[in-house]
Structure 1
Amino acid sequence: MSRSLLLALALFLLSSQLRAQQKLHKDIAQALSSIKEFEKQTRRRDSSSTHLLGSHTESAFLARNGFYKKIDAGLQQINRKSLSFEDEINLELLRHEVQDELSDYQYKSYLNPLLTDAGFHARLASRGNTVINSRKDAEQYILLLKDIPRFVDENLQLMRTGISVGITQPKEVMLRYASSYTQHIVDAPEKSVFWKPFAKKPAAISDGDWAAFQAEAKAVVTKDVISSYQKIKEFFDREYLPKARTSLGATQFPDGKAYYEDRVRHYTTTNLTSEQVYQLGLQEVARIRAEMDQVIQDVKFKGSFKEFVYFLRNDPQFFPKTGDELLKEAAFIAKTIEGKLPALFGKLPRQPFTVVPVPEYLAPNYTTGRYSGAPITGKRAGEYWVNTFNLPSRTLYTLESLTLHEAVPGHHLQQALTQELDNLPEFRRRLYINAFGEGWGLYSEYLGHEMGLYQSPYSRFGRLTYEMWRACRLVIDVGIHAKGWTRDQAVAYLADNTALSLHEVNTEVDRYILWPGQALAYKMGELKIKEMRTKTESALKADFDVRAFHDMVLSNGTVTLAILEKMTDKFIWEQQEKAKKKKR
């Protein structure tokens, strides 16, 4: 490529970036600039070292709260009438995120940095996916590893404060999650997931330098990482578990009722109350159950719903014999789906994805599958994780639904496209709102019908099981956190209404207990996307184009459900105007 052509390309890219930046209202741009600088400062300790893992002290959270209060006050002063449609979206999404920061402090959620698979200590392990391509990458990663002891100490101190004010996770659940930290207490640094980035030498680093980096990394993993996980184990054994709460629901926290309603609003991005969500869940459970009963009739099964589910959970034909078989089947389904995407989407992402097993340190109490997105830098592919632990609990009749949800056209397609939307401000390319993202994932399962999947009645029942699973979440989450349900009640409700394996049922219920409100996002988002499609089909009739509709839904990245409705109304008007011009 000639130098003149390179210069022209650089100027084009620069002008494109400037045009995108110019769309931002000056006050929104200023707020984003202030946030970026503030977050950068929280990771700076002095001129020679950094808090690469952020500051996690009570004083740091107090400072965050004060900062974001000022940001929110400034955002509220913006005259909405002066905003373009794009800036209305920018403002609403920024306020959504700022409000969550303020809620975190108001309800002291930061004193409880634990989830089933995403607690402070579990999230650390994802750093083992770091890609090292240069000396700078290696140096930065080693600095990060050296910051782990401070990061762990600060989080343990937060949890001590949480214990003193009655904010902990339930002992009943946390007793089952020791593997999330014990698996990182290994007898050699090479066995640690944190060593993985140093397993293969990049071409850009000399043999001598690489040997030096490896030697330093071994010492740091042993001294700073493994010892930190040993400290975490001792903390749980001696301090946390003996004093963890015996109740389950979030309403048992100080100001717990208000906290849970706040979580309902945040995760659904609506103003619905927990009771309204609960009632909607009951309606959906009844509707889906009727469809499941019809499938049982269609296969002429002689027995009750309970007996049919028992058959599905116990017949060997529905389970993989090896982990490789499960991974290969998931990969085959994913590749089959990819071939059908052009019929439903006008724009597809460039970024690839791969199919991998859930990491061993997470697998025992992890969900059946998950999507692990690629970094925005594009240094690695997206990853569709499939859980190969306890194979008798991994049902093949739900694998099509799982793949549609986690890979394509679900999370991978949606998140990869979002990262490629260069016209969006960077914060939106990194943003993930559960109601939209998980709603899209569940809607993607529904699209399997239009792709010609679910040819077997058992896979159709599996698809309905997955939809019923998300409907049950509306009932169970509210039941646990607002109605005093026991864990046994929640397990029975999910087991009695779905064909999920009993292992999956138990890990799912634990997840709902530890993560109030998040499980509500899936069904609420899917219902809104379906509602918007029906609205668009009704308005456009013969002019409805499913590819254009899907491209519109994904065109602004992750959004709230209220924004999605505004986008749909705008899309309908634009399509109607386009149709009028064609007829002239």
Structure 2
Amino acid sequence: MKKNLVLACLTIALTACKNDTKTNTPVVEEQVNVSEEFNKMLGDYYEEGLQLNPVQATFAGDNRYNDQFPNPLAQETVDKSKAYYKKYKEAVNKFNDSTLTDSEKMTKAILNWECDMNLEGFNFNQDYFPIDQMWSINLVAGQLASGASAQPFKTVEDYKNWLKRLEGYLAWMASAESKMQEGMQKGFVLPKSLIVKVIPQLEALTVEDLDQHLFYSPVKNFPESFSDEEKKELTVLYSKMVSERIIPAYKKLHDFMKTKYLPEGRTTSGIAGIPNGEDFYKYQIKKYTTTDMTAEEIHELGLAEVARISSEMEKIKEQVGYKGDLKSFFNHVRNKKELMPFKDPKEVIDNFNAIHDRMKPQIEKLFDVKPKTPFEVRRTEAFREKSASAEYNPGSLDGTRPGIFYTPIPDVTKYNVYSDESLFLHEAIPGHHYQISLTQESEILPQFRKTLWYSGYGEGWALYSESLGKELGLYTDPYQYFGMLGAEMHRAVRLVVDTGLHAKGWTREQAIQYSLDNEAESEAGITSEIERYMANPGQALSYKIGQLKIRELRAKAEKELGDKFDIRQFHNQVLETGCVPLALLENKINIWITASK
């Protein structure tokens, strides 16, 4: 979407309606009719969206489409998606702004943004990269197959639904190979350093011992209510599916990646190494930051933030009495045995739960609205643990499935706790769990906005949440506060290395070295992070851009409102509209500040 159109949409969304002082019943009736029509259109948009992406419906807790997996690489699916966005862009713009409430104008602006960004995304041949080491569908399928994620396995029908869904997934696996072959011919190939990370992930699912196979897991966890006959029937069906379909499909894809795709992998690290890569990166920046910032502006901002946070880190180094330079202090923190106290993975989980308990007495000082959706901390599944970062998986829309904070623990003896408090604030409470759950539980947002995700807002909120630690009774240990600074530095470094990789010609090795020079993450962790940025350009920019905007808005509100500033009300204002482009959030807060004076 062009810049002037972005601004036009945002202006439309945030211009206050002139109050009609007349008590004119026909006008009121007309407004009700328009709202009903508008809401029906939004409902249709949401419902059709679920049919296009039934896996998203499953994650939202809507089980009507649990047996479906339309192949997103098939031309038919692509054509349907394009037609869907064009249809609803036209539909939403039939509504005149003068007939909409302020809330409806914001929704109209968001729907325009959604349609424009998704339609523009079809221009960049992303289908040629269907598989990577972190973001792709096969990893989501593995989570669902485990029986411990969003796909339900409570009834016989649930078990059979998954078998039907696997038919669609197998079609996707075949299409993925075809798309990669086509990409090889046209210059759209992953870097070799990413391909070598994908190969073991695929190989892990070629194991022939069914009891060890991830996709056989549901058979090992039948509900007690199943009869012996039902268990027997499903065991046969799953054995056949995994042995005769799943394992051969993974072997075929693994062999292709290893013998044909890997030799053709590109040696460049940044997305500029593919056709039209520079324009694609500009699109990714806009998509993930929801701003019109350039790569150069973001790079310079990153350098400035790295310098600022470094000076704060120096203070902690002096506080703990460390005499060496900051870079050697990173190594000191990485290798300090007292910060690696655990022998059993359960101790890591217990530590996060203890952090939660320490926060509870303070949380109401900052938040007077809390989510009803339950929350759990779990260890990341073994099949993806080595390449995974800590992450949050939302609960279902109805709150019956909890929000889950997943943490990878590939080697518990090397698990360093120094950043656990900031990590919990980001991924769990009040970070992603509060932000996403409150959005999903909202009684005023239209349904489609309850599952929207804008990284600039969502990751910005989570990083902002890390800065609340002292207010929540955490960061009393200087190493944990250093962990917060380290996490913030990590996001500042991202601004530098992501733009370095994709807009300035940096190599993977340059990006790794810059990170090692400026943050306390381990080399293995940094390497995984850099490869993550290589696989999804621009995503890593969203955290710091969003955090800085929210901090800027809080500082403005505190200054302008003085004694009238209520931190709980500020947080309500930020959270109540769910994920929105940052310009919409800024205008909303400005309106609130003016109204609160």
**TM-score above 0.5, yes or no:** yes
| SS across alignment from 2:171 | helix
Kindly state the Cα deviation for residue 182 of structure 1 after the two structures are TM-superposed: 1.6
Name the counterpart of 2:159: 138
Match of 2:460 among 425, 435, 439: 439
Bigger Cα displacement from structure 2, 128-137 vs 159-168: 128-137
Contact 1:371-1:407 within 8 A present in 2 as well: yes
- RMSD after superposition: 2.4
Match of 2:129 among 97, 112, 136: 112
User: Cα deviations across residues 150-171 of structure 1 (Å, max 9, x unaligned)?
Assistant: 1211222222222222112111
Name the counterpart of 1:164: 185
1:531 maps to a residue whose letter is: E
Name the counterpart of 1:64: 81
Q: 1:56 to 1:339 in 2, by over 3 A?
A: farther
Name the counterpart of 2:508: 487
1:117 maps to a residue whose letter is: M
Contact 2:72-2:172 within 8 A present in 1 as well: yes
Match of 1:363 among 380, 385, 393: 385
Distance across 2 between alignment mates of 1:485 and 1:78:
47
Q: 1:345 to 1:140 in 2, by over 3 A?
A: same
Distance across 2 between alignment mates of 1:79 and 1:284:
43
Name the counterpart of 2:578: 557
1:437 maps to a residue whose letter is: G
Name the counterpart of 1:40: 51
Kindly state the Cα deviation for residue 66 of structure 1 after the two structures are TM-superposed: 4.1
Name the counterpart of 1:11: none
- 1:531 maps onto 2:552 in alignment: yes
Match of 1:395 among 416, 434, 445: 416
Question: What runs of 5+ residues in structure 2 fail to find an aligned partner?
Answer: 1-31, 56-65
Name the counterpart of 1:543: 564
Match of 1:381 among 388, 396, 402: 402
User: Cα deviations across residues 231-286 of structure 1 (Å, max 9, x unaligned)?
Assistant: 22022023221222221111122111111111111110011111111111111111
Name the counterpart of 1:352: 374
Distance across 2 between alignment mates of 1:487 and 1:24:
52
1:331 maps to a residue whose letter is: N
Name the counterpart of 1:7: none
Distance across 1 between alignment mates of 2:336 and 2:107:
51
Q: 1:41 to 1:532 in 2, by over 3 A?
A: closer
- 1:97 maps onto 2:108 in alignment: no
- 1:86 maps onto 2:108 in alignment: no
1:327 maps to a residue whose letter is: I
Distance across 2 between alignment mates of 1:22 and 1:281:
49
Distance across 2 between alignment mates of 1:254 and 1:83:
43
Q: 1:202 to 1:575 in 2, by over 3 A?
A: farther
2:130 maps to a residue whose letter is: P
Q: 1:392 to 1:513 in 2, by over 3 A?
A: farther
Name the counterpart of 1:329: 351
2:113 maps to a residue whose letter is: H
| SS across alignment from 1:362 | helix
Distance across 2 between alignment mates of 1:82 and 1:341:
40
Match of 1:122 among 139, 144, 150: 139
Match of 2:438 among 412, 417, 423: 417
1:489 maps to a residue whose letter is: Q
1:388 maps to a residue whose letter is: I
Distance across 2 between alignment mates of 1:285 and 1:40:
44
Contact 1:132-1:197 within 8 A present in 2 as well: yes
Contact 2:73-2:176 within 8 A present in 1 as well: yes
1:466 maps to a residue whose letter is: A
Contact 1:43-1:55 within 8 A present in 2 as well: no
Distance across 1 between alignment mates of 2:201 and 2:114:
28
| SS across alignment from 2:221 | coil
| SS across alignment from 1:117 | coil
Q: 1:449 to 1:471 in 2, by over 3 A?
A: same
| SS across alignment from 2:152 | coil
Q: 1:414 to 1:42 in 2, by over 3 A?
A: closer
- 1:182 maps onto 2:207 in alignment: no
Contact 2:271-2:281 within 8 A present in 1 as well: yes
TM-score scaled by structure 1? 0.89
Contact 1:306-1:496 within 8 A present in 2 as well: yes
Kindly state the Cα deviation for residue 419 of structure 1 after the two structures are TM-superposed: 1.3
Name the counterpart of 1:406: 427
- 1:213 maps onto 2:234 in alignment: yes
Q: 1:23 to 1:78 in 2, by over 3 A?
A: closer
Contact 1:439-1:526 within 8 A present in 2 as well: yes
Kindly state the Cα deviation for residue 533 of structure 1 after the two structures are TM-superposed: 0.8
Contact 2:375-2:404 within 8 A present in 1 as well: yes
What does 1:303-322 correspond to in 2, within 5 Å? 303-322=324-343
Bigger Cα displacement from structure 2, 264-273 vs 86-95: 86-95
Contact 2:372-2:399 within 8 A present in 1 as well: no
- 1:341 maps onto 2:363 in alignment: yes
2:370 maps to a residue whose letter is: L
Distance across 1 between alignment mates of 2:155 and 2:276:
49
- 1:255 maps onto 2:279 in alignment: no
Distance across 2 between alignment mates of 1:364 and 1:137:
30
Kindly state the Cα deviation for residue 523 of structure 1 after the two structures are TM-superposed: 0.2
2:368 maps to a residue whose letter is: G
User: Cα deviations across residues 131-156 of structure 1 (Å, max 9, x unaligned)?
Assistant: 22233322212211233221211222
Contact 2:71-2:171 within 8 A present in 1 as well: no
Distance across 1 between alignment mates of 2:531 and 2:321:
35
Kindly state the Cα deviation for residue 460 of structure 1 after the two structures are TM-superposed: 1.3
Q: 1:570 to 1:297 in 2, by over 3 A?
A: same
Bigger Cα displacement from structure 2, 479-488 vs 336-345: 336-345
Q: 1:380 to 1:255 in 2, by over 3 A?
A: same
